[in-house]
């Protein structure tokens, strides 16, 4: 999530919103099976081709990163219109799963690593974020801003109160990430009412150094951009990290109450529509 980005109220009859443009790039929700297939191919290239994830037999054969959650999710796209407005132009993606979608298969993706009962019991609308990736040639501020502007529009449209998901740090040795994990635990631990906890069988203690010995600014700088983005919006982390050996990462649970997103979006929206209605 990029600080200082603006949100534009551009809606249509699509599941989330209409396309939001910035130059040749646009962000919108996927609307066809072919677009979702292109998303899965992009994820495979990034996760397995670049990041060293280990494909199972099915993923390796299909060259797709796909699972059952793709069938119920909304898939946010970044499209380069200089390449094309459809499948050929997809250069970024984020997977969005609302409560009603997760109910169709009986669980959220994060539940395989974290006890999220507190979040599931939250009385408002909740949204799970995951499978974020951008093609290497487009890892710029513009592409990331577009993804977050798209998420802001989606949050506004569906009145999301809490967003959550698993965010990753590279590598599988928690001691190599002692500074980052300790900083997150000591400075950004979620309040108990919305705090996920790593499942007991997977739990890795995040407090791996003396918090007083850390330089918070340096620790923050060393975090992956996606996690820093969550923190800029006032996000929290759960209790316990999880080693994901398939994806060659250490995961942390992230939780964001969407007040800051919706307040900013609403103010911008109401400036464009005097009566404040959509």
Give the C-alpha separation, 109 to 276, whole Å: 35
Domain-embedded: residue 181? yes
Q: The domain that contains 186 carries what CATH number?
A: 3.40.630.30
- Written as six digits, the tokens of 172 are 């599988």
The full length of the chain comes to 278
Domain-embedded: residue 46? yes
Q: Hunting for tokens 């290497």 — which residue is that? A: 136
Checking phi first, is residue 234 left (phi over 0); if not, alpha (psi -120 to 50) or beta? Answer: left
- Degrees, nearest 5: CA angle 17-153-262: 150
- Degrees, nearest 5: CA angle 85-144-148: 90
Domain-embedded: residue 54? yes
Instruction: Report the b/e string of 24-40 with b at 16+ CB within 10 A.
Output: ebbbbbbeeeebbbbbb
Residues 157-174: what's their mean pLDDT? 96
* Range list of β-strands (E), the chain: 20-22, 25-29, 74-80, 90-98, 114-115, 125-134, 160-170, 197-198, 236-244, 249-257
Domain-embedded: residue 2? no
Domain-embedded: residue 256? yes
Domain that holds residue 154: 20-272
Give the per-residue pLDDT at 245: 95
Contact 209, 247 (CB under 8 A): no
Domain-embedded: residue 69? yes
Give the per-residue pLDDT at 274: 34
Categorize the per-residue pLDDT at 228 as very low, low, confident or very high, splitting at 50, 70 and 90.
Answer: very high
Q: Is the pLDDT of residue 15 over 60?
A: no
Domain-embedded: residue 36? yes
Mean pLDDT, rounded, of the chain? 88
pLDDT over 70 for what percent of the chain?
A: 87
Contact 253, 237 (CB under 8 A): yes
Domain-embedded: residue 14? no
Q: How do residues 200-227 score in pLDDT, each as one tens digit?
A: 999 999 999 999 999 999 999 999 988 9
Task: Report how many domains make up the chain.
Answer: 1
Give the C-alpha separation, 185 to 211, whole Å: 9
Of 16, 42, 35, nearest to 150 (Cα)? 16
Give the per-residue pLDDT at 18: 83
DSSP conformational letter for 190: P
Give the per-residue pLDDT at 263: 65
pLDDT over 90 for what percent of the chain?
A: 80
Question: Is 213 in a helix, a strand, or coil?
Answer: helix
Give the per-residue pLDDT at 17: 64
Q: How do residues 56-88 score in pLDDT, each as one tens digit?
A: 999 999 999 999 999 999 999 999 999 999 999
Give the per-residue pLDDT at 232: 87
């Amino acid at each position: 999530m990029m600080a200082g980005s603006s949100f534009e109220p551009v809606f249509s009859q699509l599941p989330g919103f209409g396309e939001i443009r910035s130059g040749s790039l646009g962000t919108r929700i996927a609307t066809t099976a072919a677009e979702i297939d292109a998303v899965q191919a992009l994820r495979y290239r990034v996760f397995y081709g670049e990041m060293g994830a280990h494909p199972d037999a099915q993923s390796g054969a299909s060259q797709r990163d796909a699972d059952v959650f793709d069938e119920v999710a909304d898939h946010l796209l970044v499209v380069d219109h200089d390449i094309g407005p459809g499948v050929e132009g997809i250069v970024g993606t984020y997977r969005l799963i609302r409560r009603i979608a997760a109910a169709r298969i009986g669980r959220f993706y994060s539940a395989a690593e974290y006890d999220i009962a507190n979040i599931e019991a939250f009385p408002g609308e909740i949204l799970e974020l995951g499978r974020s990736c951008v093609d290497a040639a487009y890892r710029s501020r513009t592409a990331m801003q577009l993804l977050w502007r798209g998420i802001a529009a989606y949050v506004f449209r569906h009145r999301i109160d809490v967003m959550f998901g698993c965010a990753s740090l590279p590598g599988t040795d928690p001691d190599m990430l002692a500074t980052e994990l300790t900083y997150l635990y000591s400075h950004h631990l979620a309040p108990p009412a919305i705090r996920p906890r790593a499942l007991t069988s997977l739990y890795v203690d995040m407090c791996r150094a003396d918090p007083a010995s850390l330089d918070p600014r340096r620790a923050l700088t060393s975090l992956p951009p996606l996690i820093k983005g969550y923190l800029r919006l006032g996000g929290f982390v759960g209790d316990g990290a999880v080693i994901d050996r398939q994806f060659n990462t250490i995961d942390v649970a992230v939780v964001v109450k969407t007040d800051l997103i919706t307040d900013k979006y609403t103010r911008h929206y109401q400036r464009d529509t005097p009566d404040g209605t959509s």
